[in-house]
Amino acid sequence: MALRTGSRTMVLDGANARLRADRRQRQARDFLARSSTAAALPLPTVTGKAARTGLLKGATVKLANNGPLIRKLTWPLLRFKPILSVGKLVFVTRHEDVCELLARDEDFTVAEGNAATMDRVNGPFILGMDRSPQYLRERSILQRCIHEGDADRIRAFVAATAAELVERRQGSGRLDVVQDLARPAAVRLLASYFGVPGPDEPTMMRWMRTIFHETFLNVGGDPQVRRAGEASAAEFHAYADHLIGSRRSQIELGEPTPDDFLTRLVRLQRDPETRLSDEGVRRNLGGVVVGAVETTSKATAHAIDELLRRGDALRRAQRAASADDVDEVGRYAFEALRFNPINPVLSRHVARATVLAAGTRREHCIPPGRTVYAGVLPAMFDPSVFDRPGEFRVDRPATAYLHFGHGLHTCFGRYVNLVQVPELAAAVLRLKNLRRAPGAEGTIVYDGPFPDRLLVDFDTVEEGRA
Ligand code: HEM
């Protein structure tokens, strides 16, 4: 049997490979039985592929917002069994191995997991496609819609929007980080920079949340989530088709148009090299905007939540915010997010028999058809890359963080997030005497997988003067 490992190809005797794989599976099971923490992992207890993966995926979603628990569950893996096969699943926790598997996009693919839902809800989009001429062409067209100076423009817009949203709450002494700030700010950026305002903000928030939920996070196949997502997608498609058509008419008639992402995509239709059909514009615009709201909101809520757990880091971050050093605030926000990232794991399908971590003691043969979980969270606690990983430190190399993934599918919106999340966090951190709302009100409330409320209190201007 020929096994590919990156550019190298090695030949293994089939029977031996099977024996080794069986031995590893036995070892993995023994390891789990021995380790009390790992035994608490929500392992499948029923038979049948669908039931097994469904259970495990469902449990993963429940766990997904609990960074501390994920850390507890994964540290024994990171330390003793960095690549663990259990049945058809493989868990990878070392930073180097996570990066390797995300970089090897032809061995570890996304279409198997993402394409069917993506195609049904949005129409084909890059996060559901593996490396192919269509993937490369469409990602490069999207890339051409990012112009020089966009980061500054986004920064100015988000800073002004955040200041205005926070100002509205000044008299009350209370702010909901999610509903009063992060979600509306992200939706307003869709209007201003992406050119997709939606009929109104509440509708846009509902569309973005329900479509995202069904497309990426409906792991148990909840029919209600499916219905809501599909209904929103149908409404959004009708809206977007109209929006794209009228923008093109404006351009053709020589009428003034805003310089936004939509105008840029439509203008690129004139060049055969970058031409997308109207349906292509809608698929790509839809995929981008749906990925832009709940992600930003969750990142902001989790970053603030983690800072509120750490008095000293919080005070230093507040000082940076008051001094308008938003780059420094960003370092605090992304370090805080390491303790509860928005994507603690990313999953991949094993397209062909392969070897991970070849030539190391962790070398692992993986047969085709397995699902591999790239442990983004444990990888960001790997002491070989994150010195003293349990410490909150803002001097870590920015390139080591894996918040935005790695390799071919690295987040397209990185240039937006690196500006938007710190600006939103800074607006919260500038509040006088910032603290959690008392009791249960001060903890994050989730709507399914999405943060839906995080209440913080602060001194009003009057209280500050008194
Ligand atoms: C802090 C907020 C965000 C985080 C943490 C985040 C994280 C990620 C991650 C981890 C991936 C890779 C998924 C994988 O490899 O399976 C990804 C992909 C992607 N993200 Fe984001 N994202 C954020 C916000 C955004 C925004 C604002 C946009 C749009 C402007 C966006 C658009 C995308 C797209 C289009 C992809 C797919 C890229 C591809 O397949 O080539 N994301 N994001």
- Ligand 1 pocket test target in 295, 338, 372, 406 with most atoms within 8 Å of CB: 295
- Domain boundaries 133-170+178-340+390-432, corresponding CATH code: 1.10.630.10
Report pLDDT digits (tens) over 120-142. Answer: 999 999 999 999 999 999 999 99
* Structure tokens, 341: 């990232």
According to the model, what pLDDT value does residue 64 have?
85
Residue nearest to atom 7 of ligand 1 (CA): 404
Q: Where in the chain is the domain with CATH 1.10.630.10?
A: 133-170+178-340+390-432
CA–centroid distance, residue 404 to ligand 1 (Å): 6
Q: Return d(Cα 218, Cα 224) in angstroms, integer.
A: 10
* Domain range 2-117+344-379, CATH class: alpha beta
Say how many Å lie between the CA of residue 401 and the centre of ligand 1. Answer: 14
91-117, pLDDT tens digit by residue? 999 999 999 999 999 999 999 999 999
DSSP code per residue over 67-104: HHHHHHHHHHHHHH-SEEEETTEEEE-SHHHHHHHHH-
Q: How far apart are CA 437 and CA 313, in angstroms?
A: 19
What span, in angstroms and rounded, lies between the C-alpha atoms of 169 and 70?
Answer: 35
Closest residue CA from atom 15 of ligand 1: 409
Q: Which phi-psi region, left, alpha or beta, contains residue 47 (left: φ > 0; alpha: ψ -120 to 50)?
A: beta
Angstrom CA distances, 369 to 1, 6, 284, 359, 417, stand at 15, 18, 29, 23, 34
Within 10 angstroms of residue 79's Cβ, the number of other Cβ atoms is: 12
437 close to 174: Cβ distance less than 8 angstroms: yes
The HSE-up count of residue 163 (CA atoms within 13 Å, CB side) is: 9
d(CA 375, CA 153): 34
Query: What distance, in Å, lies between the first and last C-alpha atoms of the chain?
Result: 78
Strand partners of residue 347: 373
181 within 8 A of 162, measured Cβ to Cβ: yes
Ligand 1 atom 34, closest CA: 412
The angle formed by the CA atoms of residues 108, 64 and 207, to the nearest 5 degrees, is 90
Q: Cα(420) to centroid of ligand 1, in Å?
A: 14
| Rounded distance from Cα 254 to ligand 1 centre (Å) | 34
Closest C-alpha to 389, from 427, 338, 443: 338
Q: Which residues line ligand 1 (CB under 6 A)?
A: 110, 126-127, 139, 287-288, 291-292, 295-296, 299, 342-343, 346, 403-405, 409, 411-413, 416-417, 421
Bridge-based pairing state of the strands 435-436 and 455-457: antiparallel
Q: Please give the number of the atom of ligand 1 that sits closest to the Cα of 408.
A: 41
User: Where does the chain hold its CATH 3.30.43.20 domain(s)?
Assistant: 2-117+344-379
Distance of CA 35 to the CA centre of its chain: 30
**What is the 40 CA–ligand 1 centroid distance (Å)?**
31
| Residue-by-residue pLDDT tens, the chain, 466 positions | 233 333 333 333 344 444 444 444 444 333 333 322 222 222 222 334 444 555 555 566 667 899 999 999 999 999 999 999 999 999 999 999 999 999 999 999 999 999 999 999 999 999 999 999 999 999 999 999 999 999 999 999 999 999 999 999 999 999 999 999 999 999 999 999 999 999 999 999 999 999 999 999 998 899 999 999 999 999 999 999 999 999 999 999 999 999 999 999 999 999 999 999 999 999 999 999 999 999 999 999 999 999 999 999 999 999 999 999 999 999 999 999 999 999 999 999 999 999 999 999 999 999 999 999 999 999 999 999 999 999 999 999 999 999 999 999 999 999 999 999 999 999 999 999 999 999 999 999 999 999 999 999 999 977 656 5
Best probe residue, ligand 1, of 411, 417, 423, 424 (max atoms within 8 Å of C-beta): 411
For tokens 């709201």, what's the residue? Answer: 293
Closest-CA residue, ligand 1 atom 27, reads 292
Residues 6+ apart with CB under 8 A from 103: 406, 407, 408
How open is the CA angle 38-50-406, to the nearest 5 degrees?
Answer: 60
DSSP state of 174: E
Cα 371 to the center of its chain, rounded Å: 19
